[in-house]
Amino acid sequence: MTSNFVIIPLLIPFVVGVVLIFFKDNIKLQRIISVLSLITTTAFAAYLVQLVQSKGVLTHELGNWKPPFGIVLVADMFASLLVLTASIVTLCCVLFAFHTIGERRERFYFYSFVQFLLVGVFGAFLTGDIFNLFVFFEVMLMSSYALIVIGGTKAQLRESLKYILVNVISSALFVIAVAYLYAVTGTLNMADLSQRIAEANQPGILTTIGMLLFIVFALKAALFPMYFWLPGSYSAPPPVIIGLFGALLTKVGVYSIFRTFTLLFYHHPEFTHQIIGYVALLTIVVGAVGAIAYSDVNKILIYNIIIAVGVIVYGVTLTTKAGFEGAIYYLIHDMIIKAALFLLAGIIIRITGTTKLKKMGGLIKDYPLLGWMFFIAIISLAGIPPLSGFIGKFLLVQGGLESESYTFVAVLLVSSLLVLYSAIKIFMSCFWGEPTLSAGQEKVSLKGILYPSAILLAVSVFLGLGAEAVIPYVSTAAQTLMDPSIYIQSVLKE
Amino acid sequence: MKKNDLILQTTTKVVTFIIIIFAIHLFFAGHYTPGGGFVGGLTTSAALVLLLLAFDIKTVSKVIPFDYKKVAASGLLLAIVTGLGSFIFKVPFLTHTYSYFNLPLLGKTSLATVVLFDLGVYLVVVGVTMTIIQTIGESE
């Protein structure tokens, strides 16, 4: 099925990002345009999900060149769901930015960079060509470089240097891996690659290239030995930007790992998937250690990103349908809830003026709504039944038991406990106890900055309570991941 | 200290035009021979940088009063619009077309919509290069 709708969610932020450059100084107009465009993007993404559900995998052949010769955009259910989630998250983050980011940053193309970041993220989700994946990674990373340094505080300058260095190296590795892959197979189109790798039955050289790609994506997704850059980089920029990064950037790496190891390199799971499994388990352990060790709001949440990335990536090694469904569900849930948590943490830091837990206390008296919203967010993060985190983890546990990965199930359950402990630690020391703020410091106005997180929480609650409505979509996505021939046939049309 | 840059400035005035004409040649040669929007844009920026070396930033921005950030943005917009134009004819994004025309001076020439896309690339390259150089030059 060829359809023009596939490219629409990609084009809207691109055009808008460019147009916003012309209105550098008219901040009001910038805000209106970016919100309107994000609402339209969300609507189109929702329509795309619906279209994919009813008509199967959709493709868009750029320049009317038939694959494998041209570039093709492929919207399968996995990609479409992530596009929808990413646009909801970005919409809420932009709404939050209105009252928090400050005029100085807004004047320096903040909204344009957000739109370009979205172009990169959407492109990485939708592309069906491995070199295009690289290009969209770069579009995303360039915008993230700008966003991490925008404002130019000392910490931002220091951390952006490390962040750029790590990403430049991983991008170079990506190009090298693609060059190897092209030298061996002679194609860059993912569907065609998948076929050729299957025909050759993935000899040693292709497994090596697969693992090289895994290292690249692991660097982007912050998996165990390659996670070292993340805690520092993500604590430097303002809360909105951390929210965007935490929800979108690492998840693109996770998505690429899923795409690569379900579509291309799935022939020798006893080697590749076993290594991925160990790396993912160690990631969960490292994340959990970090999350309970720190007493700093941002650091705790950042290590929670690492835990979640580990949990989701392990899903690629669970070869059962429940495992894939769980991983996809958990991925969507995690994007939403991480954005909500970082936005709420941003509000807390704004009120207390510190990130240290020891200096906070008793906020529930003055800010009950904020307190209970934060509480809902953390129990959803930990996976308490009526909320969205539960269903993802439940399916992952089910998948783990079916494929007899008992270590994973044990680690997942213990890590949930530690996640809950680390998040409750924030809640208890921040909202309960004696107020530590002086009289003059109290009552920061929350006008306009609470409702973006409320929207995200509502989506999260819907994902939990309305699971019946969501599961069919996730199930379709898992089906496509399980059976690469669906993807190949819809791209190459044989 | 005021230096006498007479030789540099006089040569620049002549050489700049030659460089710009060469850049335009490279730009239009792109479809059949080596060249295209990227080198064309870089060569044009090289001419502008030569002007910046021979004169100073204020003089050059008075002679060529463009906001280069907007030049880059217009280039991007042009590139997207040529892609979007394909939607009118119900074909996928970035589908390009060409046709032969009998132009008054040049005779039978093929005109392709890809040139418009390349013009976008050209403007982006000029805009970005000049923005970088001007920003670094102006910062203290």
Residue B11 CA, distance from chain mean position = 22
Among B76, B94, B96, select the one facing A18 at the smallest CB separation: B76
Could you report the per-residue pLDDT of A371-385, keeping only the tens digit for each? Answer: 999 999 998 998 888
What pLDDT is stored for residue A175 in this prediction? 96
Instruction: Band the pLDDT of A352: cuts 50, 70, 90.
Output: confident
- Would the CB atoms of B93 and A14 count as touching at under 8 Å? no
- Would the CB atoms of A4 and B94 count as touching at under 8 Å? no
Which chain A residue has the Cα nearest residue B88? A4
Could you report the per-residue pLDDT of B5-20, keeping only the tens digit for each? Answer: 899 999 999 999 999 9
Torsion (CA) A108, A112, A117, A122 in degrees, nearest 10: 180
- Would the CB atoms of A62 and B84 count as touching at under 8 Å? no
What pLDDT is stored for residue A188 in this prediction? 93
Per-residue HEC secondary structure of A344-385 comes to HHHHHHHHHCCCEHHHCCCHHHCCHHHHHHHHHHHHHHHCCC
H runs (alpha helix) in chain B: 6-29, 37-54, 57-63, 68-88, 114-138
Per-residue HEC secondary structure of B5-39 comes to CHHHHHHHHHHHHHHHHHHHHHHHHCCCCCCCHHH
| Res A1 pLDDT > 60 | no
Residues above pLDDT 90, as percent of chain A: 72
Among B69, B77, B92, select the one facing A64 at the smallest CB separation: B92
Residues above pLDDT 70, as percent of chain A: 98
| Res A318 pLDDT > 90 | no
| Res A437 pLDDT > 70 | no
Complex prediction ipTM = 0.91
pTM: 0.94
Give the B-side interface with A, CB within 8 Å: 69-70, 72-73, 76-77, 80, 84, 87, 91-96
**Tokens describing residue A69:** 């010769």
- Residues of chain A found within 8 Å of residue B89, distances taken between Cβ atoms: none
Instruction: Band the pLDDT of A476: cuts 50, 70, 90.
Output: very high
Can you say whether the dihedral through the CA atoms of B97, A60, A261, A287 is positive or negative?
positive
The CA-atom distances, in angstroms, between A330 and each of A98, A325, A371, A379, A454 are 29, 8, 24, 14, 20
**Tokens describing residue A159:** 């951390």
Averaged pLDDT for residues A330-355:
91
- Residues of chain B found within 8 Å of residue A7, distances taken between Cβ atoms: 92-93
What pLDDT is stored for residue A12 in this prediction? 94
Nearest partner of A170 among A223, A207, A123, judged by Cα: A223
A215 and A274 Cβ atoms separated by less than 8 Å: no
Could you report the per-residue pLDDT of A174-218, keeping only the tens digit for each? Answer: 999 999 999 999 999 999 999 999 999 889 999 999 999 999 999
Residues above pLDDT 70, as percent of chain B: 99
CA separation for the pair A438, A254 (Å, rounded): 44
Which of B93, B94, B96, B139 has the highest number of chain A CBs within 10 A, making it the mutation to test binding with A?
B93
CA separation for the pair A61, A74 (Å, rounded): 9
| Res A439 pLDDT > 60 | no
CA separation for the pair A470, A466 (Å, rounded): 7
**Minimum distance, in Å, between the CA of residue B35 and any CA atom of chain A:** 22
What pLDDT is stored for residue A75 in this prediction? 93
| Res A438 pLDDT > 80 | no
Partner residues linked to A296 by β-bridges:
A356
**Tokens describing residue B103:** 């132009």
Averaged pLDDT for residues A411-430:
92
Which chain A residue has the Cα nearest residue B114? A63
Could you report the per-residue pLDDT of A213-267, keeping only the tens digit for each? Answer: 999 999 999 998 889 999 999 988 999 999 999 999 999 999 999 999 999 999 9
Which chain B residue has the Cα nearest residue A5? B92
Could you report the per-residue pLDDT of A270-300, keeping only the tens digit for each? Answer: 899 999 999 999 999 999 999 999 989 999 9
Which chain B residue has the Cα nearest residue A59? B92
A142 has a chain B CB within 8 A of its CB = no
Among A12-21, A45-54, A201-210, A428-437, which stretch is predicted with the lowest mean pLDDT? A428-437
Averaged pLDDT for residues B14-29:
94
Instruction: Band the pLDDT of A448: cuts 50, 70, 90.
Output: confident
What pLDDT is stored for residue A161 in this prediction? 93
Instruction: Tell me if residue B101 falls in helix, strand or coil.
Output: strand
Could you report the per-residue pLDDT of B62-109, keeping only the tens digit for each? Answer: 988 888 999 999 999 999 999 888 888 888 888 888 888 887 877 787
The CA-atom distances, in angstroms, between A468 and each of A337, A394, A462, A464, B89 are 19, 14, 10, 9, 41
Give chain A's mean pLDDT. 91
What pLDDT is stored for residue A2 in this prediction? 63
